């Protein structure tokens, strides 16, 4: 009986070329050689809405389907990826052979011991091994204490070196193929905004709006990546304090709350095409909004226009930040986030400045201080120059504390930096949308 061919599923999912693969591998290996690294050990996890797979995906075109995986990326030779449990990976044949052509050798992920044995077989028992996790929003560790200790125990003569920033730096500038992925992602995101606006009607449930957005996403080729911080509440009912300064994540969104006239619906969401994320922030009002809320939106609009105009090669991050924030300061309003952060296979990517500057200890609680430091722009990154083909998600989450400190406006898009000027990848409607 003749051996059957393996079914090719690549034509049904977004793909990046072998030329793009070779470009990435060369750039990363150049940095590895500079830092005397023999190999990288790339962790894939479901951390932070599944974005923990970004670095493994960048170098291999493979994710672990949010079940945990590890890649060995050598300075010389072919990478090996451990991903998916045996019943998914191996039967009736290794699944990744159908969906990509970057990596020849994939193995089932059944714990760290097989990875360690492979490192030994490849001669890295005394090597310099770069550990690559996921830095994410708050620079928290994604390689567990137990995994790190096991590596130290089983590879006592190896040098284990933190190498996540190496990948973060290489990923800052997007290639033409990456830009094309982001353009397609942006088109789907715009369709998703329209679905949100059309479904925000009095009598609809919050979860129905959410479902229509997900449907629009998947129906148009988006990846089943669900990041939607949707929230709703009444602005005209002043008996209760609202939570409408920023959206809510799962499991607190979506709810079965029924929308009604006087409601504000706010969201921050991502759309993924081939793993490439575009970001949107949008606010929709049902009925006639109060003049105070319209004024908050007017300032948000001004922030957006001022800020994105400065997304040009050669501008400093601090210059862009001033463009975004100066209208708020002038209007004597306040914000949860105003700024921007890198965007691509994850969000936020480096560089990121969104939170208010760090305040004195007597002015702010410890729990807030820790969060605000991580994306505040402290540490000198404000002098970093904007470069061509950087991509940024923007965050404008402002409110007027002289009116209400529990209701605000969200507005944002994803910006591609070009020599001709900023290019809006999504085209988020900038007017105050009312239905």
Domain positions in the chain: 10-170, 176-434
- Please say if the pLDDT value at position 249 is more than 60: yes
**Distance in angstroms (rounded) separating the CA atoms of residues 404 and 368:** 21
Lowest mean pLDDT among 89-103, 261-275, 395-409: 89-103
Lowest mean pLDDT among 82-91, 217-226, 394-403: 82-91
176-434 under CATH 3.40.1110.10, yes or no? no
Per-residue pLDDT averaged across 51-73, rounded?
Answer: 91
pLDDT of residue 366: 39
What residues form DSSP beta bridges with 392?
Answer: 342, 415
Of 78, 80, 75, give the one whose Cα is nearest residue 35.
Answer: 75
Q: Give Cβ neighbours of residue 274 (< 8 Å, ≥ 6 apart).
A: 13, 14, 15, 16, 181, 184, 185, 223
- Is the predicted pLDDT of residue 27 greater than 50, yes or no? yes
Parallel, antiparallel, or unpaired: how do β-strands 128-132 and 159-162 relate?
A: parallel
- Assign 370 a pLDDT band (cuts: 50, 70, 90): very low
How is residue 157 annotated by DSSP?
T
Q: How confident is the model at residue 271 (pLDDT cuts 50, 70, 90)?
A: very high
Q: Does domain 10-170 have CATH number 3.90.550.10?
A: no
Q: Among candidates 21, 123, 20, which has minimal Cα distance to 74? A: 123
pLDDT digits (tens, 9 = 90+) for 118-168: 999 999 999 999 999 987 655 666 788 899 999 999 999 999 999 999 999
Query: What does DSSP say about strands 276-285 and 421-424: parallel, antiparallel, or unpaired?
Result: unpaired
From 160, 167, 150, select the one nearest 112 (Cα to Cα).
Answer: 150
How high is the pLDDT of residue 46?
A: 79
| Res 143: pLDDT | 86
Furthest C-alpha separation in the chain: 79
pTM over 0.85: yes
pLDDT of residue 419: 97
pLDDT score, position 139: 61
Give the per-residue pLDDT at 64.
84
Q: Which of 223, 188, 222, 273 is nearest to 16 (CA)?
A: 273
């Amino acid at each position: 009986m003749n051996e059957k061919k393996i079914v090719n599923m690549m034509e049904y999912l977004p793909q990046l070329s072998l030329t793009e693969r070779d470009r990435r591998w060369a750039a990363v290996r150049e940095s590895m050689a500079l830092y005397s690294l023999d190999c990288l050990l790339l962790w894939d996890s479901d951390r932070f809405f599944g974005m923990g797979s970004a670095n493994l995906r960048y170098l291999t075109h493979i994710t672990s389907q949010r079940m945990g995986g590890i890649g060995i990326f050598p300075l010389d030779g072919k990478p090996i990826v451990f991903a998916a449990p045996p019943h998914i990976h191996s039967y009736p044949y290794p699944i990744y052979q159908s969906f990509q052509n970057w990596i020849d050798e994939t193995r089932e992920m059944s714990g760290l011991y097989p990875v360690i044995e492979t490192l030994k077989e490849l001669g890295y028992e005394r090597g310099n091994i770069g550990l690559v996790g996921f830095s994410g929003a708050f620079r928290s560790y994604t390689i567990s204490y137990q995994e790190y200790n096991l590596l130290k125990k089983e590879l006592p003569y190896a040098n284990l070196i933190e190498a996540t920033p190496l990948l973060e730096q290489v990923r800052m500038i997007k290639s033409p193929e990456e830009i094309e992925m982001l353009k397609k992602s942006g088109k789907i995101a715009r369709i998703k905004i329209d679905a949100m606006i059309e479904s925000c009607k009095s009598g609809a449930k919050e979860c129905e709006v959410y479902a229509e957005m997900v449907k629009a996403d998947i129906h148009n080729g988006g990846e089943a990546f669900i990041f939607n911080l949707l929230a709703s509440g009444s602005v005209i009912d002043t008996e209760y304090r609202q939570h409408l300064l920023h959206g809510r994540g799962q499991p607190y969104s979506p709810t079965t709350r029924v929308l009604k006239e006087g409601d504000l619906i706010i969201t921050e969401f991502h759309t993924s095409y081939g793993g490439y994320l575009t970001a949107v922030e949008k606010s929709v009002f049902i009925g006639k909004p109060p003049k105070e809320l319209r004024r908050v939106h007017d300032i948000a609009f001004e922030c957006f226009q001022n800020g994105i105009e400065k997304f040009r090669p050669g501008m400093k991050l601090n210059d862009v930040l001033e463009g975004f924030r100066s209208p708020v300061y002038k209007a004597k309003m306040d914000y949860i986030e105003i700024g921007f952060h890198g965007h691509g296979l994850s969000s936020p990517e480096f560089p990121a400045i969104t939170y208010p500057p760090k305040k004195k200890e007597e002015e702010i609680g410890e729990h807030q201080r820790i969060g605000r430091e991580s994306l505040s722009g402290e540490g000198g990154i404000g002098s970093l120059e904007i470069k061509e083909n950087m991509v940024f998600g923007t965050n404008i989450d402002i409110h007027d504390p002289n009116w209400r400190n529990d209701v605000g406006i969200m507005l944002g898009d994803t910006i591609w930096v070009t020599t001709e000027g900023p290019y809006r990848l999504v085209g988020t409607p900038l007017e105050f949308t009312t239905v």
